[in-house]
Amino acid sequence: MDIVTSTWRQDNLDFKGQFYNVADARVSAPPDPLPRIYFGGSSAAALPIAAEYVDVYLTWGEPPQAAAAKIAEVRKLAEQRGRSLRFGIRLHTISRDTSEAAWTVANDLVSELSPEQIANATQLHARSESEGQRRMTALHGGRIDSLEIYPNLWAGVGLVRGGAGTALVGSHDEVADLIAEYHSVGFDEFILSGYPHLEEAYWFAEGVLPILKRKGVA
């Protein structure tokens, strides 16, 4: 990351490091302003890297207090280095006019998964070298009957999907309230998606975003 930033701020750059060497590196048109560096990682090795180098530390969607504990650790490490960071969270969304409608959509997404598919995916993810993946898998433990791990936070996405495995599920007001709760514990940036992506983007933009604006969060 340092080499990229340096290249953008001077005509050319020579660099010799442990993993790569660069001679006379150039860019045709340096960006202005410089883009921020985003980084995610939950391991003991990742947190100091985030504290030392990045602009925005990202985490997957654990319950608010668990996620807050993680960013508190990164913030402490950054302060020890004389730095400050922003914090972001990666989540899926299922927002509807009523809570019942949203939960129907969520349940439909996993209704055709077989116990064998869930068990195989759970075993695979539990063995992952990714600390973040192991934490996602631990949220549901392969059980389909206890997927709401926090009010309106659903771990069903992670039953068979690797990576970010939780979704905000509920009425527009309920989803907005949970986003506001995450914001209150230190998150300023939200990376959101859904299934199908375009349709869920419309549901969120038309239903949730106006509420967040009224709350002063967006």
* Weakly modelled stretches of the chain, pLDDT under 70: 1-10
- Contact yes or no for 41/56 (Cβ under 8 A): no
Other Cβ atoms less than 10 A from the Cβ of 25: the count is 14
Place of tokens 């600390």: 131
CATH topology (fold) of 36-215: TIM Barrel (3.20.20)
Mark out the alpha helices in the chain (DSSP H runs). 2-8, 46-53, 64-80, 99-110, 115-126, 131-140, 172-184, 197-203, 209-215
| Paired tokens of 63 | 């319950």
* CA–CA separation, 164 and 153 (whole Å): 13
Tell me, what's the pLDDT at 1? 46
Question: 147 phi and psi, to 5 degrees?
Answer: -90, -15
Tell me, what's the pLDDT at 13? 81
| Paired tokens of 213 | 């604006």
pTM over 0.85: yes
Other Cβ atoms less than 10 A from the Cβ of 172: the count is 22
SS3 of 54, please? coil
Tell me, what's the pLDDT at 6? 53
* CA–CA separation, 183 and 89 (whole Å): 10
Residues of the chain with CATH 3.20.20.30: 36-215
Tell me, what's the pLDDT at 34? 82
Other Cβ atoms less than 10 A from the Cβ of 149: the count is 18
What is the β-pairing status of strands 86-96 and 56-60?
parallel
Which residues neighbour 140 within 8 Å (Cβ) at sequence distance 6 or greater?
Answer: 122, 146, 147, 149, 155, 156, 158, 159, 165
| Paired tokens of 153 | 């936070």
Residue pLDDT, tens place only, 166-175:
999 999 999 9
SS3 of 34, please? coil
